[in-house]
Each structure stands twice: as structure tokens, then as C-alpha cells.
Structure 1
Amino acid sequence: MDLPRLISTVDVPPKFLKSAMLVGRIPLKALHTDPRVSYTLYIPPEHLNPDPSLQAKHTQDMELDPVYQLPPLPLLVTIHGTGRNAETCRDRLIDLAHHSRVAILAPLFSAGIDSYNDLHSYKLLKYKSMRSDVMLLQMLDEVALRWPGIETEKVFMMGFSGGGQFVQRVMYLYAERLRAVSVGAPGMVTMLDEGLKWPNGVKDLDEVFGEKAIIEKEVLRKLPVQLVVGSEDNVVHGGEEFWDWLQEKKKEFAREKGNSSEEKRGAGGLRVGRLDTLKALQLAWQEEGITSSLEVVEGVGHDSGGVLEVVKAFLEPYIRSV
């Protein structure tokens, strides 16, 4: 990727990293290759090696600061839901960053990029001119350049609600880039069904993402996966009346534009509770030999904070093992 010269942790003495805003809470940064989206990080200062290349240059005759002897810092990517609370997603994991030695990356996929009323396109990975999966990979490239002490080739990933949809679909396309994932309470999922088109199934995967888009089922079978949802999170989002209204409104807009195919398609989506959705996904995966742990948190509704400790308990052993 062709990026301009940027200041990285290699250029800054360790005592100035905080003043340069290269550790701790990192301000939201526009993605260089597509400034329509941005990202923020939390980097625990005590765990970051600013310049891992110094280890290779180290000899017995030179004294090396202990900070330059730290191993690469693993990365946990947390994906926001429809509300776009990326900074909250980041801040909820600060304790994990310090205790378990991991950096946090929280992308922000703005609403209304390709359609004024759009809230959901990032969850689908591809929509008109938006490729949110590619944007995520480009974010990882930028992180690798600015913070060479962070491991970006293989990452941990978690997401809740709309973020759970994003994570589940990224799993299919980029399983080789993931160490472990948590899929939290998605309202809609993609089945490994070659009879259904994306995003319901994978029939037209090559048409949507190109000929190189392949689902590596053998890799998925080895990937640690958590499905997590509250026990009370089994009502249809918005209720049946909302979906009836939305479907009619979308048909109305489609008729105004003269788009008959859009009118037939209607509102789309699945009128199924999130608990039932994840149970069905787990069973479908089992038929493909893909294992996952389904965690149902008692007494919790559609609340990312209510399942957070369960998610951290799942990811923490894998993070520590790195």
C-alpha cells in the first residue's frame, strides 16, 4: 500500500510516546486509503515494544532498553453495532489490554456513506462503493506501519449485534487472519448455504467478492469461535409492526424510483429472535464440522455490556497464550 511518510513509534523515544499520542487512547484517525471511515486504538504503554527491529541489531557490547525486548503485542479488533459507539467498545476493553497484554483496535464505519438513509451496509462487507472488509485490512496495514510492535497478521475479533454480523462474515472470508472470534447476538447471519445468495448464503460469493473469495472450511474448523447472546434476547428487533411498516415503506420508495426488483425484495432481514438465530447457526455449522461454543447469559437482553465479561473470559486464555 502506497502511504506517505508517517511518524511511527520507531521515530519517537519511549518517554515521548504518550505526548505524541502513540500509546494509551489513540484519537480517531481517518483511514488514509478511504477517509470516509476511521479507527481508534487503545495501546497499553507498558506492553508496547516501539521498535522490535532493535532486537536483531542488539549485540553483547550494547545495552538494550528492556522496552525494546518486549515480544509483539497481540491485537483485538472490536466491531461496533448500528449505534457506532466505537470509542465505548474500545474503552470497555482497557482493563483487558493491561491485564492480558493486548492492543485494542476499534474501527468506525460511518452511516450513510453510499446511501443517505443507510445504517447497515458495513455489516454486509460489500455495498455499492463500500468494501468494509477491505477497509479493515487497510486499517491493519496502517497499524503495522505506525506501531511495528503490534502483531497484525493474525488478530482476535469480537462484535455485538451489527458488529456480530460483521465478524461472522469476516470469519468466512479471512479465517486465516484470525486467532479466535466472538460473535455476539447478530440479528441476521449468513449460512454456509450454496442455495442462497449473499448475505443470506454463499451461492454468489465469487460474484460479490471476486474469484479469489474462497471459504476455507478446514481453517474454520480449527478456529476457536464463541457465539454469545442474552437469554432474554429472543424477541424480533422492533416488533412485527415495525417490520410490516418498514417493508411497505421500502416498497413505496422503490415504486417512486421505478425499481420493481427492489419493491419485490422489500425490507429483507429475518424476523427471528437472536437466540434462535444463533442456535440455528450453530447447528448448521455442526453439519459442516465447524465447532463453536454457544454462551447464553441468563437474565440479559440485547445488551453488549451484559455479555462483555463472558466474551472476555472466552478470549482471555487465547490472548494470554500468544
Structure 2
Amino acid sequence: MTDAALARDPAAEFAERNRAQFDFDRTTIFASKADPRFAYCLYVPPIAPGGTAPDLVVAMHGTGRDFVGYRDAFAEFGRWNNCIILAPLFPVGVLGDGNRDGFKYMREAGIRYDQALLDIVAEVGERYGQAFDRFALFGYSGGGHFTHRFLMLHPDRLWAACIGAPGSVTLLDPTRDWWVGTRNVQALFGAAVDTAALAQVPVQMVVGAADLETWEITHRPGSRHWMPDANHAGSTRPERLASLKASFQAAGVAVRFDQVANMAHDGMQAVPPVQTFLAEVLGQRRAGRNAT
């Protein structure tokens, strides 16, 4: 709408200015239309009518739920790489039981967190007139839990996956049940793991070389997520991520493994190598798109 038209229509002018203030740049926080228990915020770069469509990068929080912090950490990347940054929020205790970990394992009672994210992605696409058939997904710590399991279930929806220092990993192991392995994925989620599709997704794994504390990540009998072989992938986060890498590679999935020297458990320190990886993948993705 032109400035002259807006001046003649105060209601339209108000709506346009409201949208400019809250729906672009670093946005306000929105409740998901599909399930208002969940929320999200965005960074949205300038989108010119008829211009190049932005790509989508999802930054998943960890157990501390610093979703706004991750949005802000990726905002400059989004500005200079023409990407919308989506930072979802899956709160603690959505069932009233104080559970901090439900989103990490994809299922919590009747909730499917993978579908909750896909609903939010569809909502964001609708709001900005974009078709986000594929997006990049980064998560660190609890977000790393979510990212590698989402990748296993939906490789067809991702153009990149950046898996940061998950405390526990699901290996591509058809001899063990979920969440330790993938034997019963078909029964739980309605589709088997498609390793051929997985192999088409650029995958980065990132962890600090000094991320060696085990008090938070050691599963013990009687704990909420205990099951046989819960600790068999290793004792520390670097060991467990290396086991995940090995299981991916055995299935034909290439992995870039970044072990950052002198870094303990700090998701913000992992952001620069993740952005470097995503910029490289974006360049290849856009070059391929322009060649067709």
C-alpha cells in the first residue's frame, strides 16, 4: 500500500505500522496457532516484493530455554545471508508435571514435538508468503537431542542439520528400541528411518573438547528416561557425539565433525562454527538453485 493510500485509511496505516514494528527484524513472541502451549520468535530480514526469497534457519533451544538468546545470536547471520531465523519455545512442564526433557525425545504423552515444529514452520511461511519445504535446523545440548532425532524422522524437510553436544544420542541401531536405537521407529512414529534420504542432508556435529562433565548426562535406573544401554554410546558428550557420527557414517551419511578446542558446555561458543557451516551449505544450495 502506498503512503498516500495509508494516509487515507487510518486503520490500514495502523495495521501496516504495527506489522512493521512487531513482525520484522527481531520480532515479538508468537503463540503457535496449532498448539498455543508452544511459542516462537523470529528474526526477519527485509523482504522486497518480487525479490529473492529468504531461506529458513531454525535455532532450537536447550534445557535452559534461551530461545530469544539463540534468535539474537543468529540475527546478523540472517540479515547478511537473507535468512529468516526461527527460534521455537517448548516450555518446561506443558503437562503440568515439571518435565524438562519431553521435547528432546520427540514424544511426550500425546504430544509430537516434531509435528509441533512443522506446524510452526508452516505458520511462519504463511505469515510471510514463503514456502519453506526445507529448512536448516541447529540445536545445542537439549536442542542437539531434538535436532538429530528430528533429522532421523524428517530428513526430507531439512537442507542442513547442525547437532550440538547432545547429552544422550539415538544411534542408527536397528537392534535397540527408541530412544537408544531405531528398531521400533516405524511403530512409534509411523515411518521408518530413511537412510538414503539422510545421506542427502549436509550434517555437522559440534562439541567442545573440554565438555567432559557427566553428572547431568549419566542415566541411572529409575530415572525418567532410563532404559537398557542408555549409557552405552560413551560417558562424555564428545564420546557420545563421536558414537553418533560413527553410526551415521556406517549408514552412508557424511558428517562434518567439529570438536572445538578449549570449549566446555557453551552453546553460544558453538554458534560461529555453525554459522560458517551453514554459510557454506547455503552457497552450494543457492548455486544449485540458480543453475536450474
When residues 310 and 122 of structure 1 are mapped into structure 2, their CA distance, relative to the original with a 3 A threshold, is same
Alignment partner of 1:199 is 2:193: no
Deviation per residue, 1:26-66 (Å, 9 max, x gap): 21111111111111111012xx1xxxxxxxxxxxxxxxxxx
Report percent identity of matched pairs.
Answer: 28
When residues 12 and 185 of structure 1 are mapped into structure 2, their CA distance, relative to the original with a 3 A threshold, is farther
The answer to whether the 8 Å contact 1:161/1:184 transfers is yes
Give the Cα separation in 2 of the matches to 1:151 and 1:277: 35
Alignment partner of 1:73 is 2:36: no
Q: What SS does the corresponding residue of 1:36 show, helix, strand or coil?
A: coil
Q: What SS does the corresponding residue of 1:105 show, helix, strand or coil?
A: strand
Q: What SS does the corresponding residue of 2:154 show, helix, strand or coil?
A: helix
CA drift at 1:239: 7.9
Counterpart residue number, 1:235: 213
Q: Give TM-score, length-normalised by structure 2.
A: 0.86
Give the Cα separation in 1 of the matches to 2:60 and 2:164: 10
The answer to whether the 8 Å contact 1:24/1:43 transfers is yes
Counterpart residue number, 2:262: 299
Amino acid at match of 2:272: E
Deviation per residue, 1:108-164 (Å, 9 max, x gap): 00110125120001011111021110100100111121111x341110110000001
The answer to whether the 8 Å contact 1:187/1:237 transfers is no
CA drift at 1:85: 0.6
Amino acid at match of 1:235: E
- Which structure's CA Rg is the greater one? 1
Counterpart residue number, 1:276: 239
Give the Cα separation in 1 of the matches to 2:275 and 2:40: 21
CA drift at 1:304: 0.7
Q: What SS does the corresponding residue of 1:182 show, helix, strand or coil?
A: strand
CA drift at 1:305: 1.4
Please give the residue correspondences for 1:245-256 in structure 2 after superposition, counting only pairs within 5 Å: 247=221, 250=223
Counterpart residue number, 2:153: 173
When residues 12 and 269 of structure 1 are mapped into structure 2, their CA distance, relative to the original with a 3 A threshold, is farther
The answer to whether the 8 Å contact 1:114/1:129 transfers is no
Counterpart residue number, 1:137: 118
**Unaligned segments of structure 1, at least 5 residues:** 1-10, 49-66, 252-261
Give the Cα separation in 2 of the matches to 1:12 and 1:78: 33
CA drift at 1:170: 0.6
Give the Cα separation in 2 of the matches to 1:147 and 1:117: 35
The answer to whether the 8 Å contact 1:114/1:130 transfers is no
Alignment partner of 1:221 is 2:222: no
Alignment partner of 1:93 is 2:93: no
The answer to whether the 8 Å contact 1:18/1:24 transfers is no
Deviation per residue, 1:245-279 (Å, 9 max, x gap): xx56x59xxxxxxxxxx9x859x666720000111
Q: Give TM-score, length-normalised by structure 1.
A: 0.78
CA drift at 1:282: 1.1
